[in-house]
Structures are given as structure tokens and as C-alpha cells.
Structure 1
Amino acid sequence: AMEFALDFRMQFQRDVFIDLLGYRKYGHNEGDEPRFTQPKLYKAISKHDNPRDLYAKRLLKEGVIEEGHTRALEQQFKDRLEENLEDSRKETLTEITAIMQDAWEGFNSAEEDKMMEPVDTTFDLDKLTEIAKVITQLPSNHKFLRKIAKLIEARKTMYFEDNKLDWAMGELLAYGTLLSEGYDVRMTGQDVERGTFSHRHAVVKVEESEEEIVLLNELPDVNANFYIYNSLLSEYGVVGFDYGYAMASPKTLTIWEAQFGDFSNGAQIMIDQYISAGEDKWKTQNGLVMLLPHGYEGQGAEHSSARMERYLQLCAKDNMFIADCTTPANFYHLLRRQMVVDYRKPLIVFTPKSLLRHPKVVSTKEELAQGSFQMVIDDPEAKPSKVTSLVFVSGKFYYDLLEKKEELQRDDVALVRVEQLFPLPVAEMEKALNKYKNAEDIVWAQEEPRNMGAYSHLLMHYEPSRTWRVCSRKMYAAPASGSSVRSKLRHMRVIESVFDKDNQDS
């Protein structure tokens, strides 16, 4: 019936509804006893012939087959199984054929040491400029909302005049460079076309007709496509589909973005059973990227934390990358690294919200063209001879500490950013420790509660951190306070504790 229905659908391009009636003869499994819960039903089932015998009796009655035909078929099948079993015993080595093997030709497996190698993600500056021209120019024959026209013009100014690229511009240029190199880019999630925080605007609409314009698909001489779709609030289904898409198309940068990072828990089954464990269980690689907006900005318990600690707890050996970037350039190189390497790993990125328009969160086009992904970013202003307090921090919280450091004029404090949380860049962190050897106070600072965030991960993966001072919110059951006033107060206490080692009332 299934084969017939499929043939019909392929031939006539029409759907087929199959009304299939089934039942469990042995309950949940062959070792189960279904009569414990449904004794009457399974008493009737035990007296009922199975479908094969019923069908054989009907065919025999109608004269389609002769007596003994089904027994002969059954014996042939058993003989074939026995023959295959004997042949398998002669094999000394079992070779597992990878799913979709042709699509994965040229890719290799990667252990942690390979994941930590530097990757060339540079891109020709002249070509980058050509991409920037296309994505900062709206079609002149259409009328767009004034806000959209102003935003696109601002992008042109930031690239061609100010040379201060914001987060969205860095992201879009990363996609443009990958498209120009022949990689498709696919992105799904709630409101991803404009971005939850109206920063991306990868799709712009004509004011009168609502025609959709995707500037990244206007790049000349490019044999790749940018696919972006607003998806429904069904994280489990969408993440599951995109995990499969990334498996079927390893040369596509496949991205799922949560509306807020907290919402990814709707896809927890996919995260636990596939994304974090798929390669270990089945030796199948997957390059799915998850962008999870994360940051404590007074928006309450359901819109603050992407539950960083859950992902970090799932990390082991070489199963995935986890990053918490602080600059557009580093995010740009992170996305490029994901595709130019000859292996695939899931990539979890805790992305910013308030930093999307932060005046200090900018990069130059030269940093995009000539730079690379930095697993650790040193304090550009700190002088080792003056530093007595070395603070390791990750993500958006760095800018909160930087603001306080500048306010207090504390040149004795160095703020070192850990941009990649897994695999943890221990060698780079130790370089910082050696550089600031006069530092007597070593700190791990995070805005999350102590039982959340990256602190426990750090303790597990880097033993020297157990002697460090930790500055964080106290332990809480909820990720954040529902009161914006209380949230701000807690946040300021953590910041103050970083700069005052005698103040640990955070």
C-alpha cells in the first residue's frame, strides 16, 4: 500500500491518505505482558489470527495462490537469513557506511586537538567591499519604509566612511563571503528575517506591495543561495528539521536562532539526544549552528538566560563548539570557521541583545578581512607591570565591567575575555596568567547566578580555577529576578565585587 501510494504521488503529484489500522500483538515489546493493563482486549487478540495468515487464507480462497505457497516463502526467507548470517561470520571487519556518504566526501573527523588549531578565515578586502556595496544598496525602483532606507544607508556609512561595523553588518558580511565561496546559507527561527531585536533585516519589504527583497541574493557571479525563513514557535520541530538539513547538506551553513535563548529548552530532546551526542553514538558529524540570545538586562526569568550551563554540562572530548563572542569581527570569523574547516561540529553561540547597538561593539573592515577567530581576547589597555587583579570574563558582561573599570580609572585590573567556552582554550588562558604574573587576585566574573553560567564548567575543565575568586550572583532557582529594580541591584553588586575583593555580598 505504501509503495503504491508513493508511486501514485510521484506520478500524479497528488497526496494520498492511507487509512492504516494496526494493533500491538505483544504490547510495548515482545517481553511485555499487555494483559496486565488490558486483559479483555488481549484475550481477544490472542485468539485473532495475524494479518499474514488472514491474507494468505483470502488469497488461497480466491485461488490466487496454492496450498503450501506461504510456507515455501517463509522457508526461503529463513534460508536467506541463515545464509547472510553465515557470510557475515566470515568477515573479520565490519565497515559502517556513513549516511549520505556522497554528500560527506572530503570531510574528516576531528578530535579536540584539531578543533583548537588556528583556522585561516581571511577574505580579500576588495571582494569584501564589493559585497558591502550590494548589501548597502536598496533597489531604486521600489519604495521602502523610511526606517529601512535609513538603516541601509547607515550600513553604507559605517562601512565606507566611519569604518565601524556593528554586529549585524559583521554577521551579514560573514554570510556574503561564504556565499561568494560557494556555500549556501540557511537560517530559521522566530523573526530571524528582521531579527528579534530588529537588527538584522536580511529581508526587506517593499512598502506598497510587500515584495520581499533579499540583498544577499543579489550578489553577482555567486553560485550559492541565502535561505532565511521565519519559523513557528515550535523549537523541537524546527531544530529537528534543521539538524537533518545540516546532516544532508554539510556544505550549507545551517543556522537556527532562538527568539530568546531561554526558548531553546523547547528543543531539549534534539539537544540532548542528537546535537550533543550524535557523533559519539553514531559517528555522524553535524554542523548545525544555534544562535541563542543571552544577557542579563532586566527582562525577567524567561528572557535573560540561554541556560549556558546546560550546554556546557553536555560538553565532552570533542563533541561541539561553544562560544560567547564580544565583537562583530570575532563573530564573523567564528561563522566563517564553521564552514572552511574540513569537519563539522555543532556550534552553540550565546549572542548579544544590548550589544547589537552598543557604541563600543564595533569592528573595522580590516579586522574582518585580515583577522581570525580569537578564542581569548587580551585586555588591550592593561600594562602587565601595573596589574594586580586579573579578571576572566565572557560575553556581554565584559562591557559592564569595562564601563566600571573606566569609571574607577583602575589601571591595576586586566579584563581578559574567554570567547570560546568549549573546547576551553586553556593554553591561551595560561598565557594571560603568565603575562600578568604580578596579579595576586585572579577572578572569574559572570553575571549569571553561581549555580548557572560557566563557573561550574570552568571548575571541571581547568583545575587551577578552583583557587580563583568568583564574582557572580548568588545561587538562585530562577535565572533572573522578575523585578527590573532588583535585577539591576543584583547586577551592580556583582560588578562592584569584581573591583573590591573584600565585597563578596553579590
Structure 2
Amino acid sequence: MQYNRQRREVILDRLIWSTQFENFLATKWTTAKRFGLEGAETLIPGMKEMFDRAADLGVESIVIGMPHRGRLNVLGNVVRKPLSQIFSEFSGGIKPVDEVGLYTGTGDVKYHLGTSYDRPTRGGKRIHLSLVANPSHLEAVDPVVVGKTRAKQYYSNDVGRTKNMAILIHGDGSFAGQAEWRQTFHSDVVVDLVCYRRFGHNEIDEPSFTQPKMYKIIRNHPSALQIYQNKLLESGQVTQEDINRISQKVGSILNEEFLASKDYVPKRRDWLSAYWTGFKSPEQLSRVRNTGVKPEILKNVGKAITTLPDNFKPHRSVKKVYDQRAQMIETGEGLDWAMGEALAFATLVVEGNHVRLSGQDVERGTFSHRHSVIHDQETGEQYCPLDHVIINQNEEMFTVSNSSLSEFGVLGFELGYSMENPNSLVMWEAQFGDFANGAQVIFDQFLSSGESKWLRQTGLVVLLPHGYDGQGPEHSSARLERFLQMSGDDPFVIPVMDPTLRKQIQECNWQVVNVTTPANYFHVLRRQIHREFRKPLIVMSPKNLLRHKDCKSNLSEFDDVQGHPGFDKQGTRFKRLIKDQNIHSDLEEGIRRLVLCSGKVYYELDDERKKNNASDVAICRVEQLCPFPYDLIQRELKRYPNAEIVWCQEEPMNMGAFSYIAPRLATSMTSLGRRTFDDIRYIGRAPSASTATGFYSVHAKEQAELVQKAIQPESIKCNAVI
């Protein structure tokens, strides 16, 4: 009881300071901002003054990122989060619900939460304030705030970047004149102010345990509120009666809000922006949609993005690439990876969506495959064909930008950008998938869990080049296992898989795919936009498949041909699993082995099968690893009732998809009455501390052995590690 009372008193103290400041500022006594007040409480009047001044200077929206210190005051008294809600959260109150009264999120500690509010200013204007949720990695929110602000500038046509502003606060701060500087000189303002904590780290901390001398001085030092009151009394602007009256009023407000918190009912989901109106929560059904495009549109946009100006002089190798792409559209055959991607971008632009891609070398492509920006070899002039998909196209409808070597910063920026408007395809591509390691905080704290903790959806796409080609441990693996390990689906429960009722992706925290055809890549990108919710998409993108002779698709696989729910009919939607291309009957009792795999190893397995004429081996590609395609896996298990079940991967056993696949595959088999783990064979590299060997000869030997073992004529009696 004593603990709870003490905790409440500290919370009330922190809120009462700022609430009294707000009352003072609402009166004529605005000269208070000129006083040098120390401590966290000085943050509040300074920020309010800055917001008011910013609104007078034309700012319409402010995005804020900040640490824990002073956060309750900012939430309650600047951004106007209901005080009853804050009290309710501290008392472990009711979890927030959506518009249909359901909620499955985990929530977060109070000092991590954000909110938004349209705040009236003293000048009679309104300014939209958005405080972004963040984890305990405090500075991790900085790039997210900057990206979200940049998106607001783009979508509001804020060309001068004067209507939308970002504020990053770390440590306690005070503000004096920065709004005028920023609006006049269009540059950042940095204020470094040394402060102290009047209380400890949190409500129950006792700082004198470790800093007795310092906190003896602090206890004897008058608070900022006392200093402020004394200054006002000395100036003759207020009387002691005024101060008492305001204190009583504020105390009454806080106590009323505290009592109201006991019955506080959280409101529906707040998507921060009108752009998100109508998008569905994980509890609401969103039907699967087709993603194919009419053949005539494919032809038209294909011609537009492969045509270069007559007077433009590209490098001869690039010219050859574009001539080949034009031929692909003309014949409708042999479309490669880059062409499939370009068609996805172009068709989304035609439909009115913003498409944005950033990362290291993305304009050219790390593997010199994309060439989305072409350079005239004589003048240096640049030309981007995707800027000319439609007549009089706004050039910023498609944005491709090379970024700096800061995976953490750039991924955070693009995450913030993607949160502003769901009608946009926002992508970040790592130079190599391994480089995602540098952005792990953004993946762990924001992308994988942001919707669960903070009720914020994002459709961000992350492209991570992945595949074992003998390029060593730093250029082979995007650490597929990490993304699968962070997936929030239950491996022992098969969800509802009826295509008219399925919410599997909606209920998962993100999607992880390892796609093997240009057409399927086209559809998975378009799928991000063509549905009523948003989920992050992690793509294990290829390297050697970019130019692989067999990794091609025909134009007919991109079109809008209608068929049975579309899971097998080419050209209608993304294929979560691609069944064996050599077998077409519904029941294949003569097949002795079913090899399940994902990614580019499929092509090596298929080549080995052809070389050995192993027609009794079926190979299926699991294109969507997470969430797991139980229905399609079970379809294949039924098709091959006598087959050995093998999972083949090129990654070491403790990496790759095996640890994710095995229990889900076992669950699928058990539900069909088949044996489980005893029936699942692993073929791949042995467990390893390093992702890959640095010696090409060793890599080639390992790769050849695992492919041979997967197709060998002898029965596979136990797991085969290479």
C-alpha cells in the first residue's frame, strides 16, 4: 500500500508541474519563458511556446521523438493524451480495443507509448502533433521521426518543407527562438542544455542509494515550480492567492482524472492519419485479392519503361539491357527478375500509388541488374524510365535513391516514411543481406513488434540479397533464421485456411518470403498494396538468379487471368508454394521422395534431377515461409502418400529455415495421420558458428554434395549434414 501511494504521489508531482505551467501560459504571464528554469519541467512551457510560434510561422504538423524523461508531461500536457488514460495505464487498466471491441496486442511500458492530437494554439490556429512510440533504445526513434516527417512533406506537397517539422529530444531541453531559425534558414537547430533529475530514474527509484551527496543538494534546492512562482510574485504579476487558486484547480483536475481512470475505456485504433481510414485490424477479415494486370496495360507500361529518348546516349552495356527488356515485352517471353520488378513498380504507379526504393547502390543495383537511373555517357545527364510511365507524370511518384552506408539510419527512415501513408510501396534494399545486422534494433524493436506493442501498421518491404554462391561469410546469408524466429505464429496450431475466411497473414506480425520467379516477385510486391491491411514484408532476394537462364517468366504469368481461387492459376496472385513443375496428376503414388526447399537451391536441385533422370523425385518450392502455407503443404503431402519427406537447404542446420519449417511441417503431417519428426529428413550444411566458408572450393564441394544427397537413388535413412 505504501509502495502504491508513493508511486502515485511521484506521478502526480510530475504531472502537476506541467499542468500548472500550462495554466500560467494560458494567461498573460508569458514572460515566464524568459526565465532560466532548470529541470525536466522546463521542457513543457518551452515546447508549447515553440509549437505556438511554429504555427504562426506556417507549420501545420510536428512529429516528435523523445526519451522517457519528461514524456508523461509531453503526452499529457503538450500532445493532450487524456490524463485518465495515463493513470489507467499505470494502474494496469483495460487494454485498448479496436472498432469491433477486440484486441490482441501486447502493449508496452508507459514511457514508450505515443499518441497524436490536433492542438489549438494561442494564435487561433491548429497544429497536428504526433509523438512517435519508441523502445528503450532511445535514439532509435530519430530516423523514424525524420522519415515520417519527410513523408508528410511529400504527401502534403510541402515543397519548401516549411509546413511539416521534426523535433528530436534527448535529455531535458529548453527552446528559445529555434522555430524562427528553422523557418528562415531551413536548417537544423541543436540545443545542448545541461539539467538534473529531481527524482530518480523512475517512480520507484531512490537515487540517494548511490548519489547521496548530490541528492542532498537537490532535495534542498527549490524546484523549478517554486522558482517560477517566486519570480512571478516578485514581479508583481500574480499574488499568492492567484497561485493558491491555480494549485487548487490543478489538483482538483488531476484527482478527477485519477478517479475517472478506474472506469476508463480505451478508444478505437488511432492510425494517426486520414490515409489509414478504412484499413482493417488483425481481427477483421480481409479477403485475398488478385494482383494480375490487364495484358494491354502490361504491354503499354512495358513499352514505356523500356523506351529511351532518341538523343540519349547510355552506356552500350546498359543499352543492350534495355534492348533485351523491350524484346521481352514484344515477345512476351523470358522476362527476368529486374523486368518483373520494374513492371510491379510501373503498374502500381499507373494505379496512382507512390513507389519508393532506397538503399546502397539501388539506382544501378548492387549486382548491376536494375539500372533504374541511366547516365548519358557524354553529358552525364540522368534519365529514369519509371518517371515516364504515364503522360505528365509527377516525377516523385517513383523515387529511387542511393543511400549512405548506415543500415540502421536508412531502415529507420524508411520505416517512418511507410507509416504515414498506406497507399505507397516503400522499400529498403541492403547491399548484401548480411548488412541487415547493422539495423537489428530497428528490426527487433520497431518492425517485428510495432503493431503488437503500439497498434501501428506498416507495409514496409525489406529486400535482403541472400544465397550461397561462395562469396564468404559476410556476403552469403541475410540471416533468414532470425526473421523466422521472430515470427509470431504458433507452430502447433493450424489456423483457418479457407481462402474466404483466412486471416493468417493479418494475425501474423510480418511475412517472410524466398521467391524464385520474376512473376511471383511481381505479385508479392503488388500484394502489399492490393489488400485492406498492411504488414511488413521481408524478401530474401536473389543474387545469381538475377541472370539465371531458368529464372524467367512469361508475360502471361503477370496478367489478370481469372480462375479457381487462383492459388495455382498463373498470373492471378502470389503463389505461396510452387508445386513440382514436372508432375501434374492429383495423386502420384510412384514418387519416392518429396523434396521441399526454398530459394535458389531449387534450380540446383532441378538440374541434378535432370542429370540423373530422377523422375521419381518431386521438388516443391515454399515461396512464403511465414506465415506457413499449411493448406498447400498438406495438398502436396496428400499427393505423394508414399514419398520420403525431405527439407533441403544450403544454409547450416542451425540457420536458414529448417528450425522454423520442421515443427510446422510435423503439425501438417500429424493432422493427416502421418508420422512426424521421424519422417522428416534434413539435407544441408552441418551446424556452424559462421554463416559460410570463405573458400570457394570448399563451398562448391559442400553445395554439390547436398544437392546430390537430396536426389540420390538410395533411401535417406537419417539427416544428412554436409
Give the shorter-chain TM-score range: over 0.9
- Give matches, 1:18-167, under 5 Å: 18-89=191-262, 93-110=265-282, 118-161=288-331, 163-167=333-337
Q: CA deviation at 1:38?
A: 3.8
Render the CA deviation track for 1:410-456: whole Å, top value 9, x for unaligned.
111111111010111111111112112232x2111111111111111
Given the alignment of the two structures, is residue 421 of structure 1 paired with residue 625 of structure 2, yes or no? Answer: yes
- Give the superposed CA RMSD: 2.2
Q: Distance in 2 between matches of 1:309 and 1:249?
A: 30
Q: CA deviation at 1:265?
A: 1.6
Given the alignment of the two structures, is residue 186 of structure 1 paired with residue 390 of structure 2, yes or no? Answer: no
Q: Distance in 2 between matches of 1:114 and 1:438?
A: 37
- Give matches, 1:221-232, under 5 Å: 221=391, 225-232=397-404
Counterpart position of 2:612: 408
Counterpart position of 1:377: 578
Higher mean C-alpha deviation, range 281-290 or range 387-396? 281-290
Query: Which amino acid letter does the alignment assign opposite residue 576 of structure 2?
Result: M
Tell me, yes or no, if the aligned pair for 1:236 and 1:266 is still in contact at 8 Å: yes
TM-score of the pair, normalised by structure 1: 0.93
Q: Distance in 1 between matches of 2:379 and 2:356?
A: 25
* Residue among 258, 281, 295 paired with 2:430: 258
Query: Which amino acid letter does the alignment assign opposite residue 130 of structure 1?
Result: N
Counterpart position of 2:647: 444
Counterpart position of 1:341: 531
Higher mean C-alpha deviation, range 37-46 or range 74-83? 37-46
SS of 2:215's equivalent in the other structure is helix
Given the alignment of the two structures, is residue 272 of structure 1 paired with residue 484 of structure 2, yes or no? Answer: no
Counterpart position of 1:388: 592
Q: Distance in 2 between matches of 1:211 and 1:80?
A: 64
Q: Which runs of 5+ in 1 are unaligned?
A: none
Query: Which amino acid letter does the alignment assign opposite residue 327 of structure 2?
Result: T
Counterpart position of 1:303: 475
Counterpart position of 1:327: 517
TM-score of the pair, normalised by structure 2: 0.66
Counterpart position of 2:390: 220
Q: CA deviation at 1:37?
A: 4.0
Tell me, yes or no, if the aligned pair for 1:145 and 1:207 is still in contact at 8 Å: yes
Given the alignment of the two structures, is residue 469 of structure 1 paired with residue 642 of structure 2, yes or no? Answer: no
Q: Distance in 2 between matches of 1:373 and 1:36?
A: 60
Q: CA deviation at 1:89?
A: 4.8
Q: Distance in 2 between matches of 1:193 and 1:312?
A: 29
Tell me, yes or no, if the aligned pair for 1:263 and 1:306 is still in contact at 8 Å: yes
Q: CA deviation at 1:62?
A: 2.9
Higher mean C-alpha deviation, range 149-158 or range 356-365? 149-158
Tell me, yes or no, if the aligned pair for 1:382 and 1:411 is still in contact at 8 Å: no
Given the alignment of the two structures, is residue 176 of structure 1 paired with residue 388 of structure 2, yes or no? Answer: no
Q: Distance in 1 between matches of 2:421 and 2:349?
A: 15
Alpha carbons of 1:403 and 1:114: their partners in 2 closer, same or farther (altered >3 Å)?
Answer: farther
Counterpart position of 1:290: 462
Higher mean C-alpha deviation, range 317-326 or range 74-83? 74-83
* Residue among 382, 393, 405 paired with 1:233: 405
SS of 2:274's equivalent in the other structure is coil
* Residue among 367, 380, 394 paired with 2:557: 367
Query: Which amino acid letter does the alignment assign opposite residue 235 of structure 1?
Result: E
Tell me, yes or no, if the aligned pair for 1:292 and 1:350 is still in contact at 8 Å: yes
Render the CA deviation track for 1:39-77: whole Å, top value 9, x for unaligned.
443333232222222233223223333334434333222
Alpha carbons of 1:11 and 1:447: their partners in 2 closer, same or farther (altered >3 Å)?
Answer: closer
Alpha carbons of 1:162 and 1:107: their partners in 2 closer, same or farther (altered >3 Å)?
Answer: closer
SS of 1:159's equivalent in the other structure is helix
* Residue among 524, 528, 546 paired with 1:356: 546
Higher mean C-alpha deviation, range 225-234 or range 463-472? 463-472
Q: Distance in 1 between matches of 2:382 and 2:241?
A: 66
Q: Distance in 2 between matches of 1:169 and 1:319?
A: 30
Q: CA deviation at 1:495?
A: 1.1
Q: CA deviation at 1:334?
A: 0.5
Q: Which runs of 5+ in 2 are unaligned?
A: 1-45, 54-176, 490-507, 561-570, 670-675
Q: Distance in 2 between matches of 1:66 and 1:298?
A: 79
Query: Which amino acid letter does the alignment assign opposite residue 254 of structure 2?
Result: L
Q: Distance in 2 between matches of 1:480 and 1:329?
A: 30
Given the alignment of the two structures, is residue 242 of structure 1 paired with residue 442 of structure 2, yes or no? Answer: no
Query: Which amino acid letter does the alignment assign opposite residue 406 of structure 1?
Result: K
Q: CA deviation at 1:238?
A: 1.5
Q: CA deviation at 1:120?
A: 0.5
Q: CA deviation at 1:23?
A: 1.5
SS of 2:418's equivalent in the other structure is helix
Q: Distance in 1 between matches of 2:632 and 2:332?
A: 32
- Give matches, 1:472-487, under 5 Å: 472-487=684-699
SS of 2:595's equivalent in the other structure is strand
Alpha carbons of 1:52 and 1:21: their partners in 2 closer, same or farther (altered >3 Å)?
Answer: farther
Query: Which amino acid letter does the alignment assign opposite residue 83 of structure 1?
Result: E
Counterpart position of 1:397: 601
Render the CA deviation track for 1:75-114: whole Å, top value 9, x for unaligned.
22222222334455555x4314413141211211246x96
Alpha carbons of 1:21 and 1:417: their partners in 2 closer, same or farther (altered >3 Å)?
Answer: same
Alpha carbons of 1:407 and 1:97: their partners in 2 closer, same or farther (altered >3 Å)?
Answer: closer
Q: Distance in 1 between matches of 2:469 and 2:193?
A: 53
Q: CA deviation at 1:10?
A: 6.6
Tell me, yes or no, if the aligned pair for 2:682 and 2:721 is still in contact at 8 Å: no
Tell me, yes or no, if the aligned pair for 2:306 and 2:326 is still in contact at 8 Å: yes
SS of 1:292's equivalent in the other structure is strand
Render the CA deviation track for 1:132-177: whole Å, top value 9, x for unaligned.
1111111222322222222211211222136210000000100101
Query: Which amino acid letter does the alignment assign opposite residue 474 of structure 2?
Result: E
Q: Distance in 2 between matches of 1:10 and 1:76?
A: 37
SS of 1:421's equivalent in the other structure is strand
Render the CA deviation track for 1:449-491: whole Å, top value 9, x for unaligned.
1111111101232323522111010111111112112122222
Alpha carbons of 1:44 and 1:85: their partners in 2 closer, same or farther (altered >3 Å)?
Answer: closer
Q: Distance in 2 between matches of 1:13 and 1:389?
A: 69
Alpha carbons of 1:6 and 1:468: their partners in 2 closer, same or farther (altered >3 Å)?
Answer: same
Identity %: 41
Q: CA deviation at 1:183?
A: 1.0
Tell me, yes or no, if the aligned pair for 1:8 and 1:14 is still in contact at 8 Å: no
SS of 1:442's equivalent in the other structure is strand
Tell me, yes or no, if the aligned pair for 1:493 and 1:505 is still in contact at 8 Å: no
Q: Distance in 1 between matches of 2:591 and 2:192?
A: 74
Render the CA deviation track for 1:193-222: whole Å, top value 9, x for unaligned.
111111111112223443332211111245
Q: Distance in 1 between matches of 2:249 and 2:602?
A: 70
SS of 2:362's equivalent in the other structure is coil
Query: Which amino acid letter does the alignment assign opposite residue 381 of structure 2?
Result: E
Q: CA deviation at 1:9?
A: 4.7
Query: Which amino acid letter does the alignment assign opposite residue 648 of structure 2?
Result: A
